[in-house]
């Protein structure tokens, strides 16, 4: 008799758990994720900081500037971005931008000296 009660309770728990997961998957999650709010990440590489920021915000995204690195672009232009251009992300996603500190300095120790 006690075993029947335990099995009945366990079966009820399993059925309710499956129904709860289905409810989350089919009803609640699509509303939270909002599938229609996706945007394509624009390319801002090579653009000046202000122009890149403006383009990112016009596309419903947020910019986060994370330091500088030497690159072929002028100082203050975007040298690198993450995620890469063309990726599909949710509106409001944060795009990480690394600015250029200008062209890399050549290492004079690697050059040969001629007498």
The whole-angstrom separation of Cα 81 and Cα 61 is 13
Structure confidence at residue 22 (pLDDT): 86
For the chain, what are the domain ranges? 1-33, 37-104
Q: Which class for 56: exposed (0-12), middle (13-18), buried (19 or more C-beta within 10 A)?
A: buried
Structure confidence at residue 2 (pLDDT): 86
Rounded to the nearest 10°, the torsion over CA 45, 47, 50, 54 is -70
Structure confidence at residue 76 (pLDDT): 94
Structure confidence at residue 54 (pLDDT): 95
For 25-84, the pLDDT digits (tens) are 877 777 666 666 889 999 999 999 999 999 999 999 999 999 999 999 999 999 999 999
Question: Quick one: CATH architecture of 37-104?
Answer: 2-Layer Sandwich (3.30)
């Amino acid at each position: 008799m006690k075993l029947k009660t335990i099995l009945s309770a366990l079966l009820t728990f399993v059925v309710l758990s499956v129904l709860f997961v289905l409810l989350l998957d089919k009803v609640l999650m699509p509303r939270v994720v909002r599938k229609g709010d996706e945007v394509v990440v624009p390319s801002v590489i090579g653009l000046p900081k202000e122009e890149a920021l403006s383009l990112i915000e016009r596309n419903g995204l947020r910019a986060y500037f994370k330091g500088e690195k030497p690159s072929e672009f002028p100082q203050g232009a975007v040298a690198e971005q993450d995620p890469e251009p063309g990726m599909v992300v949710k509106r409001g996603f944060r795009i990480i931008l690394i600015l250029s500190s200008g062209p890399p300095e050549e290492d004079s120790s690697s050059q040969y000296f001629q007498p």
